[in-house]
Amino acid sequence: MRVLKITAMAALLVLAASVAFAGPTYDRVMSTKVIKAGLSNQGIPFGFINDKNEWVGFDVDMATEIAKRLGCKLEKVVVNNNTRISFVQTNPPKVDMVLSNMTHKRVRDEKIDFSITYFFDGQKFLARKGAVKDVKDLANMKIGSMQGTTSIVNAKAYLQELGNPNPQVTGYDGEVAMFEALNSGRVQAISTDSTLLLGYAAKVPGKYELVGDFISDEPYGIGLPQDDSAWRDAINFTLQDIWKDGTYKKIYDKWFGPNSDYPFPLTSKIEMWP
C-alpha cells in the first residue's frame, strides 16, 4: 500500500512538472482551437466599429490572419487602455493576445510578454488647421491625451522641453473622448500615436492637421501572457510568415496605403529570423 502511495505521488509530481513547462496558453489554444484576442473598438484605424456596425481595423485583420494560420477560431474581446494589460495577467488570462496599438515598453514588459514589433509609429500632435504657427505655440496650449498611456507622459515631457514647466495636459478615457475634447474646443490640440490621430482627423476631412515632428518612437507589440515561450514563439513565427509571403503588405496597404483613408508610409521592417 505504501509503495502504491509513493508511486502515485511520484506520478503526480511528474505530471505537475510537465504541466509547469508545457506552456499553458499554447496548449490550451491548440486544444480548444479558439484564440481570444483583446482588441480596441475605438482605435481608428486599428480596431473600431464602422458605419455598417462591423468591427474592423488593421489589428482586427492581423488577429484574424494569425488565428487562421494557427487553425483557430478568433474570439474578439474589447479592451481599452486600462484593461489591455490586466486581461493578459489574469489566471487564466481573459485574452490570449492583445493587439491594441500598444507600444512595447520595458515597464510593460515587466508585467506581460510581447511579440516582435509588428507595427511602427510615432507620437505627434493634432490641431485645427492653422492654429499652430510654430511648434513652440503648443507649450502654452491646453492639450488632451489619453489616460493610462505613454502618450500623456511623452506629451508633458515635450511641452516642458518647449519651455512650459507646468503644461496643461488632460488625460481622457479613450480616443473618442480625447477627440471630442478637441472638436468641442475644450483643448486646443491632442497628442498620441500619429496613425490614431490620422484616423480621427479623417472623420472631418480638412479640419485638422498633424503638427511638428515625431516626439517619440512607438513600436507596437502583441501583448502575451508572461513566461509562455511556446505561445510567444508561435505568434512570432506566424508574424514573420505573414510578412514573408506578402500578406502583411496587403493588410497594411488596405489601411495605410497611399489610396487608403489613412495614408501612412511604412517606416521599417518586421524582424526576420533565419
Distances (CA, A) of 109 to 27, 112, 227: 22, 5, 11
Give CA–CA dist 20/27, Å, rounded.
11
Tens of pLDDT, residues 172-209: 998 999 999 999 999 999 999 999 999 999 999 999 99
Centre a 10 Å sphere on the Cβ of residue 89 and count the other Cβ atoms it contains.
13
Q: Considering only CA atoms, which of 269, 274, 270, 6 is closest in space to residue 116?
A: 270
Q: Which residue has the cell 485574452?
A: 95
Give me the mean pLDDT over the 36-61 stretch: 97
- Residue 56 grid cell: 474592423
Contacts of 107 (CB under 8 A, 6+ apart): none
Predicted confidence (pLDDT) at residue 11 exceeds the cutoff of 60: no
Q: Quote the pLDDT of residue 204.
A: 93
Mean pLDDT computed over every residue of the chain? 91
pLDDT digits (tens, 9 = 90+) for 144-170: 999 988 899 999 999 999 999 999 999
User: Is 223 exposed, middle or buried, given 0-12, 13-18 or 19+ CB atoms closer than 10 A?
Assistant: buried
